A and B are shown apart, each in its own frame.
Chain A
């Protein structure tokens, strides 16, 4: 649907919600309150008819207005920049640095990839893809990808109305990355950052975050903000669960990255830690987004690890240690073996053993 159409519908929706439920003809037909007199019933019907007439007039006006404003748009699909990967890979840090730049806004964790990805990849069996009825079936892929596209752009425009057609919308979506192939399939001209980190460090960071008193524990348990099952899991089981989640998510991001037609860049957390400015320059250069060097330097400096107050860093904190390879101290040999076994296809490709180090026992 066009942006024009969306604007019209937004207005219509707003009006409709202000008028109360629609389909009130049926409401009237279904029968009145037995205690209601005929006079009261007639008054109710007249009131509703008046409301209907108001909505009809408004819809007509909006259609006319929409025709006059045709062609004006909001966020451009090619200015959407996805950050896809997995949690605890530096996506918050990266998004903060990008957000500082002119005409950049960040949409933090909409979970739109999870919305569509969960059903597509996890909730239905293979046989559903053979029928023409399944809403995400292959025969109608173009159609539902268009719907997903419209869904994303519509929601983005509602949330970032001031960004305009020249602005860049960074969508930080580590928790919805399972749906990465669907997201970039729906927006093939968008830009994509594949953000990667050694799965052993990711798991070590996750383990630290679920300990009692941690930042995540405070948010989820003490403030009642979300899933709490992980806090009751046996540690080794959590290691396996996180590693499986990493594999599931990063595998899909890799698939999206390999097939994406738009500008794309692979970024390793370890590279960012080693040379944040150089990596940021590479990101923007590869994505074809012009940025001013001074602004980039300022942004990198402001969000450097060293600029974070000491009391906000350390074990149990959101900013933990930021030390690539720290897993050697954090995980038991059994836990390392489990992560390496589960994530082997990705580990071998992105973090092959070096200097004679044995990647897997």
Chain B
């Protein structure tokens, strides 16, 4: 992991909080008094704002550590979890590979924990959710959100022991329908909303789902697997566009209310200026990374460095060309995607 100011100061604050707690020192409100003390004079206002922001950050760190103690969890720190939500075929693997190659960063690839809780919760009916018996009933939400929190942290700690000081990226595009629940359960975690033009997303999965395509080959032996991509591509287009709406819609809903650090990343920006986009993303996530190391991982995972034989139609790495849908989808299919995903398309890709 790069030695950063953030890491060092965070560790120092952690030590301080730990010592205070173990020694039984009770906060006496002094800091709160300081916080409430107004600054005098125009010139000092900027400095006062800065001081207040610093106090907020310090308390965030201390709260995260106290909550971890209360949770009974150690290991992966909730505030060092970075979720990637969105939908498949949006550059999730590419982005998470770059993030995972940074020192001290790990990637939990598609645990489907969002699918577990989200599909169940949002697939239930209002009457169920209002019942006190229902395991995810509204009245007990505070309790089961805590249970979800523990479920995620236990799963993370089991897989990534010794990750206390690092960052854990959880690539969970498939479970994005559950993003609102996960982010509410782990409000101090960080979030990347990764979006791509839905027409390109659908074009990509349509290609992958045809016989011989990488997705078809991977799934063809699964029980109950069927693909309409060859015989009835319009049905595939409709299903995938609907899935896009559901997954990206869930991720967007979580993004809008998430109080922790977050970044919106468009695949198209990532393609046009990978390094610049990665820098912006880490800045918005409030994570300091070594500039040279970031440049190196971007270079390592560049499209141009993928061997030619691993790219092309039917392959996992297909064309990576924003706007390629114009060649891949029929006008009817494009219109179908536009109609189904209109609320998101209009916001992220206005005409």
Q: Is the CB of B56 within 8 A of A60?
A: no
Q: A2-B72, A24-B60, A151-B147 are in contact. Are A135 and B112 (CB under 8 A)?
A: yes
Chain B neighbourhood of A132, CB < 8 A: 159
CA distance A131 to B109 in the complex (A): 9
Say yes or no: is A28 at the interface (Cβ < 8 Å to chain B): yes
Contact between chains at B72 and A52 (CB < 8 Å): no
- Given known A12-B67, A52-B63, contact A110–B218 (CB-CB < 8 A): no
Q: Within the assembled complex, what's the spacing in Å between the Cα atoms of A107 and B135?
A: 10
Whether A126 pairs with B140 at a CB distance below 8 angstroms is no
Tell which of B111, B136, B144, B219 has the most Cβ of chain A within 10 Å. Answer: B111
Chain A, residues 46-70, CB within 8 Å of chain B (1/0): the string is 1011101101110110111010000
Pairs of residues from A and B, 10 with the lowest C-beta to C-beta distance, nearest first: A125-B222, A25-B60, A25-B56, A23-B260, A52-B59, A225-B127, A21-B259, A49-B35, A135-B111, A5-B72
Known: A42-B52, A123-B119, A158-B143. A26 touches B261 (CB 8 A): yes
Are the C-beta atoms of B66 and A115 separated by less than 8 Å?
A: no
A358 within 8 A of B: no
* Contact across chains for A22 and B63 when beta carbons are under 8 A apart: yes
Q: Which of B70, B112, B143, B187 contacts A62 (CB 8 A)?
A: B70
Could you say which residues of chain A place their CB within 8 Å of the CB of B41? none
Partner of A111, one of B111, B134, B159, B225: B134
| CB-nearest residue of chain A to B31 | A53
- Residues of A142-173 at the interface with B, using a CB-CB cut-off of 8 Å, are 143-144, 146-147, 150-151, 154-155, 158-159
How many residues on A have C-beta within 8 angstroms of the other chain's C-beta atoms?
78
Kindly state whether residue B145 has any CB partner on chain A within 8 Å. Answer: yes
Q: What are 30 A-B contacts defined by CB distance under 8 Å?
A: A5-B70, A10-B143, A14-B142, A21-B257, A22-B63, A26-B259, A26-B260, A26-B261, A28-B53, A29-B286, A38-B45, A42-B48, A45-B52, A49-B55, A59-B63, A63-B69, A64-B24, A108-B133, A110-B133, A111-B124, A115-B117, A123-B119, A125-B223, A126-B222, A127-B218, A134-B110, A135-B113, A136-B116, A140-B158, A144-B155
Cβ–Cβ < 8 Å partners of B286 in chain A: 26, 29
Interface string of B200-229 (1 = CB under 8 A from A): 000000000000000000110111010000
Minimum distance in angstroms from B206 CB to a CB of chain A: 20
Q: Closest B residue to A64 by CB, please name it.
A: B24
Flag whether A308 is at the interface (Cβ < 8 A): no
Interface contact A56-B66, CB-CB below 8 Å:
yes
Q: Are A56 and B187 in contact (CB under 8 A)?
A: no
B133 and A8 within 8 A (CB): no
B154 close to A (CB within 8 Å): yes
Residue interface bits A195-229, CB-to-B below 8 A is 1, else 0: 00000000000000000000000000001111100
Using a CB–CB distance below 8 Å, which chain A residues touch chain B? 1-2, 5, 8-10, 12-14, 17, 21-30, 38, 41-42, 45-46, 48-50, 52-53, 55-57, 59-60, 62-64, 66, 107-112, 114-116, 118-119, 123-128, 131-136, 140, 143-144, 146-147, 150-151, 154-155, 158-159, 223-227
Q: How far is the CB of B13 from chain A (nearest CB, A)?
A: 12
Instruction: Name which residue of chain B comes closest to A11, CB basis.
Output: B70
B120 and A114 within 8 A (CB):
yes
Question: Complex Cα distance A110/B60, Å?
Answer: 35
Q: Which residues of B contact A30 (CB under 8 A)?
A: 261-262
Contact, CB under 8 Å: B140 / A158:
yes
Inter-subunit contact A226/B52 (CB<8 Å): no
Closest B-chain residue to A223, C-beta based? B127
Q: How far is the CA of A317 from the CA of B262 in the complex (A)?
A: 53
Which B residue sits closest to A107, measured CB to CB?
B133
A243 CB, nearest partner CB in chain B, Å: 17
User: In the complex where A57-B27, A60-B21, A151-B151 touch, is A42 in contact with B133 (Cβ < 8 A)?
Assistant: no
CB-defined contacts of B259 to chain A, threshold 8 Å:
21-24, 26-27
How many angstroms between the C-alpha atoms of A30 and B263 in the bound complex?
A: 10
Q: A133-B111, A134-B112 are in contact. Are A227 and B147 (CB under 8 A)?
A: no
Q: Is B103 among interface residues, defined by CB-CB distance under 8 A?
A: no
Which of B35, B70, B125 counts the most A-chain CB atoms under 10 A from its CB? B70
Tell me whether B268 is interfacial, beta carbon within 8 Å: no
User: Given A5-B71, A59-B67, A155-B140, does the pair A226, B125 have CB atoms closer than 8 Å?
Assistant: yes
Name 8 extra pairs, CB < 8 A, besides A59-B63, A60-B27, A63-B66: A21-B257, A30-B261, A53-B35, A108-B133, A125-B219, A136-B112, A147-B150, A150-B150
Write the nearest CB–CB distance from A324 to chain B, whole angstroms.
29
Query: B127: which of A63, A133, A226 is its contact (CB, 8 Å)?
Result: A226
Cα–Cα, bound, A223→B49 (Å):
54
Number of interface residues, chain B, beta carbon within 8 A:
78
Partner of A143, one of B55, B154, B188: B154
Alpha-carbon separation in the docked complex, A25 to B54 (Å): 8
Closest to A59 in B: B66
Q: Is B108 an interface residue (CB 8 A)?
A: yes
Contact (Cβ within 8 A) A126 B155: no
| Complex contacts, B27 vs chain A, CB 8 Å | 53, 56-57, 60
Q: Which of B26, B132, B147, B257 contacts A60 (CB 8 A)?
A: B26
- Compute how far the CA of A45 lies from the CA of B59 in the bound complex, rounded to whole angstroms: 12
Instruction: Verify if B350 is at the interface (C-beta below 8 Å from A).
Output: no
Task: Please give, as numbers and ranges, the residues of chain B lying within 8 Å of A50 by CB-CB distance.
Answer: 32, 35-36
Contact A124 B63, beta carbon cutoff 8 Å: no
Flag if B108 contacts A133 (CB, 8 Å). Answer: yes
Interface centre among B57, B225, B259 (most CB of A within 10 A): B259
Residue of A nearest to B17 (CB): A56
A residues in contact with B307, CB < 8 Å? none
Contact with A along B284-296 (1 / 0, CB 8 A): 0010000000000
Residues of A within 8 A of B219 (CB): 125
Chain B's closest residue to A4 (CB) is B72
Q: Which residues of A contact B113 (CB under 8 A)?
A: 135
Which of the listed residues A26, A57, A111, A131 has the most CB atoms from chain B within 10 Å of its own CB?
A: A26
Q: Is B115 an interface residue (CB 8 A)?
A: yes
Contact of A28 among B56, B69, B187, B257 (CB under 8 A): B56
CB pair B146–A13 under 8 Å, yes or no, is: yes
From B60, B132, B221, contact of A26 by CB (8 A): B60
Specify which chain B residues have a CB less than 8 angstroms from the CB of A23 in the assembled complex: 60, 79, 187-188, 259-261
